[in-house]
Amino acid sequence: KAGVTQTPRYLIKTRGQQVTLSCSPISGHRSVSWYQQTPGQGLQFLFEYFSETQRNKGNFPGRFSGRQFSNSRSEMNVSTLELGDSALYLCASSFNPGQTIFSYEQYFGPGTRLTVT
Amino acid sequence: TQLLEQSPQFLSIQEGENLTVYCNSSSVFSSLQWYRQEPGEGPVLLVTVVTGGEVKKLKRLTFQFGDARKDSSLHITAAQPGDTGLYLCAGGGGGSNYKLTFGKGTLLTVNP
């Protein structure tokens, strides 16, 4: 089975611009979660989508948004980029978190390294 | 707010030494996972523990879930340079459905 893929792997943007990141989950997985990882804050949860619906959202400003398509692929968008948005953005897929005890297991992509200058 | 606290934050040891890292919370989780992350890559799932008191072994790695399902530990025997990485614990089902709560991680460096 192919793993989770994320594109692009690296991105350099300027303050004020917007960016869209893409994630393709493992085949059969319907849940996609997004995380922001920085050295100081660790892994911070952005949001989770299941069957095209956002089920959970972390404490991030409205500049961070996402969506999921019918094939479970997901995108996240950050508008009006700030220097503090520089981070590794990770996407993780799972079958259906909460359905069973083991269904919380998540499978991560390699991440997109976003640098805002 | 659920929190998972990991200790120590940083650990640098010599090849062949043993070590233990800890993951503690005031919340009860229905399952707890351990992940390892190497630089520039996403975390990779190592193990899931679900039963209080459960012990799982993965070669030289031993994982334990606390009796009350609020804490966990990871013990590595005879560490090797290939064990170097960021070790993350994550709890699921602790009252927030559908998502995992992650600790900030323990950065382990094993020197040859």
pLDDT tens track for B28-48: 888 899 999 998 899 999 999
CB contact under 8 A, B31 and A102: yes
pLDDT at res. A39: 87
Using CB atoms, which residue from A42, A97, A109 is nearest to B99? A97
For residue A40, pLDDT over 90 is answered with no
Q: Let me know: does A76 contact A88? Beta carbons within 8 Å.
A: no
Q: What is the mean pLDDT of chain A?
A: 92
B82 near A CB under 8 A: no
Confidence of residue B27 (pLDDT cuts 50, 70, 90): confident
Query: How many whole angstroms separate alpha carbon A81 and alpha carbon A16?
Result: 5
Read out DSSP for A54-94?
EEEE-S--TTEEEEE-TTS-EEEEE-S--GGG-EEEEEEEE
Using CB atoms, which residue from B31, B48, B99 is nearest to A45? B99
CB contact under 8 A, A97 and B30: no
Is the C-alpha dihedral spanning A32, A47, A45, A9 positive or negative?
A: positive
pLDDT at res. A101: 62
β-pair partners for B49: B32
What is the residue whose two structure tokens read 């297991």?
A: A105
pLDDT tens track for B66-105: 999 899 999 999 999 999 999 999 988 755 566 788 999 9
Residues of B in contact with A43 (CB under 8 A): 43, 88, 102, 104-105
CB contact under 8 A, B103 and A45: no
Q: Let me know: does B12 contact B106? Beta carbons within 8 Å.
A: no
3-state SS assignment for residue A111: coil
pLDDT tens track for B2-12: 689 999 999 99
Q: Let me know: does A107 contact A3? Beta carbons within 8 Å.
A: yes
CB contact under 8 A, B97 and A43: no
**Chain A, nearest residue to B33 by Cα:** A105
Read out DSSP for B71-103?
EEEEEESS--GGG-EEEEEEEE-SSSTT-EEEP
B100 near A CB under 8 A: yes
Residues of A in contact with B94 (CB under 8 A): none
Q: Let me know: does B98 contact A97? Beta carbons within 8 Å.
A: yes
